[in-house]
Amino acid sequence: MSADPFSLKGRRALVTGANTGIGQAIAVALAGQGASVTCAGRRSCDETVGMIEAAGGRAESLLLDFADPMAARDVFVGAGYTALVNNAGIIRRQDSVDFSEADWDEVMDVNMKAVFFTCQAFAREVFATGQGGSIVNIASLLSFQGGIRVPSYTASKHGVAGITKILCNEWAAKGITVNAIAPGYIATNNTEALRNDPDRSAAILERIPAGRWGAPEDIAGMAAYLCSPAARYVNGAVLNVDGGWMAR
C-alpha cells in the first residue's frame, strides 16, 4: 500500500448525477484527493467542474441521461477510468394503491437498470486493461426499510444492494471492489418534500441520534475512502451513513 492510502492521485473517476447534491459533493471530494473526475449528469455539471477547478483539481463535464439505462455503454472504452460512482437517481411519491406503471418503470430504469449496465460497461473495460478499479453505488436506508409512498424507489434501492453484492462475488477476485453507501436523511432535492412537511420532518429528526439532517458532504468522505487503496479489502458492503438512524 502507498504511503498515503487515501490518495486518489493517478486515478480517473466518473460520478453520475454530479450536477448537484450528493453527487456534486462526491465529485469534489474525489478531486480533492487527487482524482481526475468526469462529472456526469442529465443537466450541466459546469458548476461542479468550476468548484473543482477553483480548488486546483481536474474535472470535466459529461451529459448522460439515464432515462436510457444504456446511456454509458460506450463511455469507458479507452478512457482510463479506474473508479465509478453510481449516484444518479430519481424518486416518485404516491400511495402504493395509486402508483402508476410509468412512475414505476422510470424509477427502476434510472435507479437500478442503469446502475447494473453502467457497472457492466465499466468492468468490461477494467478487465480489458487489467488495471483494477472501484465501484461505489449509492443505495439508501430504503435498501433496508420499506419507506412510505415510494414503492418503486424502495424496490430499486433494495435492488442496488443486491447488485452490489452479486458484482462483488463475481468481480472481487478480478480486481474490482464493489460497495454501496446507504445515505440517511440528507438535505437534497430528493428530500425537499419531506423537509417541507413539518410533521414528517419532526418525526425524522426525532429518530436521528445526531439530531440533524445530513449534508451531502457527509456522504462524500465515505465515497472517497471506498475508491481509495485504504479500502482495497472492503468489498460487497452496504455501508449506512445516517447519523445513527439504523442504530435506533
Catalytic amino acids?
153
* The three grid cell numbers given for residue 73, joined into one nine-digit string: 455503454
Q: What share of the chain is helix, strand, coil (3-state, %, to 5)?
A: 45, 15, 40
The residue assigned the cell 426499510 is 145
**Interatomic CA distance for residues 122 and 174, integer angstroms:** 13
Which residues does residue 61 pair with via DSSP β-bridges, in sequence order?
39
Q: Tell me, what amino acid is at 21?
A: G
The residue assigned the cell 452479486 is 166
Q: What is the DSSP letter of 113?
A: I
Q: Which residues contact 32 (CB under 8 A, 6 or more apart)?
A: 55, 57, 224
